[in-house]
Amino acid sequence: MSTEDESFHPLGQEWENELETMLDDTEYDSDLGMQMAEDAMRVTKGELSEADFHEKYHDDVMEEFGVDDRPTEEAYEEAQKNAGGFAEMLKSVDSDGEESRRGMMKKMGAGAAFVGLGAFGASEGGSESEPNVAAAQEGDDTEQDVQWGMAIDLERCDGCLSCVEACAEENNLDRGVNWMYVLDYEDNGVDTSRNRLVRPCQHCTDAPCEKVCPTTARHTRDNDGLVLTDYDVCIGCRYCQVACPYGVNYFQWDEPDITTEDIEAQAQEEMGDHDHDSDVPHDHMSDERGRWVDSRAPRGVMSKCTMCPTRQDGGMGEDAVGTTACEDACPPDAIQFGNMFDDNSDPQTYADNPARGRALSDIDMSVPSADALEDDLDGADDDLESVLEASEDLDEETLRIMKAIEIVSEDFGEGDASHTEYEQNIVDAFDALEAHGLDLDSEEVLVGLDLADEPDEDEEFDGPDESAAQTVLVNEAGEPDSNFQLLEDMGTNPNIIYLGNEPGPQAEQVEGPVAYEDVEADLADGSSVPLADNRKDVLDEMTVGDAGVSL
């Protein structure tokens, strides 16, 4: 921010001017509004107490709006009541970025601006809000904090097609519309079980499909980088399918099997209970912007993997944000979905240290609960040996891996990524052990678990040995030979990181362990239909004059 800028608001003079114009457009008193906005800023900075703020303006506000019950009064009262106070509310919207801030202003009406909501967006100060401020100053409203993407561990995938099935069920796809596709392949004649590819849409940052689209139907969502198709705009020219080098697009050649009514009914039933963001319609089709981009496409338009925008928008509840149907369904946790911009997200942490990620997921079933530990340890001694002996579920190997994971991890058990749940279980178990008196960071325990070197006589114990811990994890869970992005040389900047073997140009698909036809998907109309590998087989039924020959 320039030093000359005398604005009270961290978003700068421009923002203030905008606020003022907004207020001028209402029949309310602009000066009072601006004054309130300024004081609201002071509240968020802690310079003014909330009670004082309330007292200072309550009467004025009531006088201004109270008479004829304008929505602003409600907004004000609502803010007081719901967000646990004004400052809290300001803080809670802070991270949502410029777009939603404006959206919210609009929603609550100009009256909201009046009561000083213009202050939010910079309530906390500090580093977190700085990007917003910077973005606002550049007048850049395409700021993006989130880029959804995946890390896919091909060596963990066992080819069960659970993800393909889950995707078909989530999106009510026609047979052979395999938004998620899993294939085994042979490369130069070598066929090992490791030659497997899991292939959703790569949600490319530089998506050629979007570039060629003659209608902007194929587009990237500004706030989270998902590459989506607006089913209401697409003309079905199929150029996106042509331009995508990965072959992930599926055109809706005929009337889809499942009606929108069925999809909506299913969505009402399944999503109805979630307390969800009111922005997102309950139909599993429109996203938070109100564009029809989710679930199977209607006839005559293009479709492909969406990375579940309804989930990401909070339409299926807070827990489903940052997850996809395929990720949830994958038994060996081969799919890690999350924010590629965040170093602590599932995909980034997993790609960063796959052995750790694998071990974490493997060990989860064996980590004893804190309660069980407490019961087992009751009355036992607090040295390592006694603890291990007394505990039924905890053996030395498990504890070693648990501890090794902790040693190689940063911010263990913190954050909101899915893997932190696993970490949290370990933290709980550790807490129970510590409560019993076992010091997990002590020389005795670490050396006992081979996670630290025993110091020489004259040396001091220097804590855990990270490389030893890493070796434990690699030995336990293995490590992929390589990680790669698919067809990197195409310049698409895909948002999927693969761990494992990269298929070469001579790779050819071979039969996988599970046949598509042997897996059934339960769809919204109550039917159970087998998946189909080859869409053409399904479509041939409708071809006029199909002679069964090919050019």
Per CB under 6 A, residues contacting ligand SF4 are 201-204, 207-209, 213-215, 217-218, 227, 229, 234-240, 244, 246, 248-249, 301-302, 304, 492
* Residue 21, binding choice from other proteins, ligand SF4, none, Cβ under 5 to 8 Å by partner class: none
Instruction: Report the interface residues with other proteins, using CB under 8 A.
Output: 176, 178, 181, 183, 185, 197, 208, 211-217, 233-239, 241-255, 299-302, 486-487, 490, 503, 505-510, 533-537, 539, 542-547, 549-551
- Please state the closest distance from residue 229 (CB atom) to ligand SF4, in A: 5
- Please state the closest distance from residue 199 (CB atom) to ligand SF4, in A: 9
- Please state the closest distance from residue 299 (CB atom) to other proteins, in A: 5
Give the residue with the Cβ less far from other proteins, 59 or 255.
Answer: 255
Q: Give yes or no for a contact between 525 and 234, defined as CB atoms under 8 angstroms apart.
A: no
Residues 33, 23: Cα–Cα separation, whole Å: 7
The CB density around residue 185, as the number of other CB atoms within 10 Å, is 18
* Residue 183, binding choice from other proteins, ligand SF4, none, Cβ under 5 to 8 Å by partner class: other proteins
- Please state the closest distance from residue 254 (CB atom) to ligand SF4, in A: 15
Give the residue with the Cβ less far from ligand SF4, 302 or 384.
Answer: 302
Q: Strand 250-251 vs strand 196-199: parallel, antiparallel, or unpaired?
A: unpaired
Reference 465, options 482, 483, 453; nearest CA is 453
Give the residue with the Cβ less far from other proteins, 67 or 551.
Answer: 551
* Residue 250, binding choice from ligand SF4, other proteins, none, Cβ under 5 to 8 Å by partner class: other proteins
* Residue 204, binding choice from ligand SF4, other proteins, none, Cβ under 5 to 8 Å by partner class: ligand SF4
The CB density around residue 404, as the number of other CB atoms within 10 Å, is 29
- Please state the closest distance from residue 302 (CB atom) to other proteins, in A: 8
* Residue 209, binding choice from ligand SF4, other proteins, none, Cβ under 5 to 8 Å by partner class: ligand SF4
Helix (H, G, I), strand (E, B) or coil at 522: strand
The first and second tokens of residue 371, run together, are 């309660």
- Please state the closest distance from residue 486 (CB atom) to ligand SF4, in A: 8
* Residue 202, binding choice from ligand SF4, other proteins, none, Cβ under 5 to 8 Å by partner class: ligand SF4
Burial 465-493 (b: 16+ CB within 10 A, else e): beebbbebbbebbeebeebbbbeeebebe
* Residue 51, binding choice from ligand SF4, other proteins, none, Cβ under 5 to 8 Å by partner class: none
Give the residue with the Cβ less far from ligand SF4, 32 or 212.
Answer: 212
- HEC string of 212-251 equals HCCCCCEEECCCCCCEEECCCCCCCCCHHHHHCCCCCCEE
Give the residue with the Cβ less far from other proteins, 216 or 424.
Answer: 216
- Please state the closest distance from residue 302 (CB atom) to ligand SF4, in A: 4
* β strands within 272-362, DSSP E: 302-303, 335-339
Q: Strand 148-153 vs strand 496-499: parallel, antiparallel, or unpaired?
A: parallel
Residues 175, 534: Cα–Cα separation, whole Å: 9
- Please state the closest distance from residue 172 (CB atom) to other proteins, in A: 17
- Please state the closest distance from residue 250 (CB atom) to other proteins, in A: 5
* Residue 253, binding choice from ligand SF4, other proteins, none, Cβ under 5 to 8 Å by partner class: other proteins
Reference 259, options 337, 197, 174, 317; nearest CA is 174
- Please state the closest distance from residue 238 (CB atom) to ligand SF4, in A: 5
Residue 129 per-residue DSSP state: G
* Residue 286, binding choice from other proteins, ligand SF4, none, Cβ under 5 to 8 Å by partner class: none
Angle between helices 466-477 and 396-408 (to 10 degrees): 120
* Residue 543, binding choice from ligand SF4, other proteins, none, Cβ under 5 to 8 Å by partner class: other proteins
The first and second tokens of residue 331, run together, are 């038994």
402: part of which helix (H) or strand (E)? helix 396-408
Give the residue with the Cβ less far from ligand SF4, 200 or 368.
Answer: 200
The first and second tokens of residue 141, run together, are 């409203």
Angle between helices 419-436 and 396-408 (to 10 degrees): 120
Give the residue with the Cβ less far from other proteins, 178 or 336.
Answer: 178
Q: Which residues lie across from 528 on neighbouring strands?
A: 522
In degrees rounded to 5, what are phi and psi of residue 496? Answer: -125, 130
